[in-house]
Structure 1
């Protein structure tokens, strides 16, 4: 299957992906069968791509399937795929896959490893060429801290993410961070 066809399948899957307000805004899928079909297509593509040794395609495939496994709740498979994506990538692609890996670690209840990963990403994002991803690093670190009930530290991360997102002017990202800040209030956190 061609990469463009796989990307179309991902777009169709987006209508089933949501953030669970009752579970710390973790991503979930309301159509497990559709998710599994997309995963199977990506697994086939990875097998084919390994035979071609096209690194850019492998990075995309491993990163995406890792993300899909995480959403499905298969954290071990997610961590394995995302670790490969991180090993193969560099620059912004490596940072994106490190953030995804941190999320997979969080879903696997390995919160301290997730925090270490997010902190490494924040350090990497301090370099000017990667700074456009810093808001994502703070957002995901904040969500991890929220699950650990470290409300003050989570709030601080969300505030940093919000400042960066307001500068970007991306309403969907601003709304995402606003929902996270509201979740802190719901859980008896800061005002």
Structure 2
């Protein structure tokens, strides 16, 4: 199947799923060259759990894993995330119903965050919740079972340029460009 869909020369090794926030630039965060990352950006770095039917996020994940054969997926949250701030502080989103509905995909993260208003904790819990959602996608579940794919949860600090790897103690600071 890969040879039918893959464009010659398109061979990234990592799928990077990050927030739509303009301050979150995957290639700068990872010091990557063009072509090294396949990128999905969504409000709040949200990945809905797999469900049958047409879905652009699911299709992009499947393409990266099943067709491009990426070996790593990085799911990256960030400091000062507007989506997580809106959830943590219970902002009125009645004027943005599509956003409110989209953010419901972070309900598990909100349920796991003890202190209301703790944006920092919610950002971290959201990365973990979205990694769990990601693992429900058949292509991801299959590659994980085969041992050909590794998932990584990161939190990028916009002010310092630092990256914290969740689930481990590794911290990396990416030099400013």
Shorter-normalised TM-score: what interval? under 0.3
So what's the TM-score if we normalise by structure 1? 0.27
Bigger proportion of residues as helix: 1
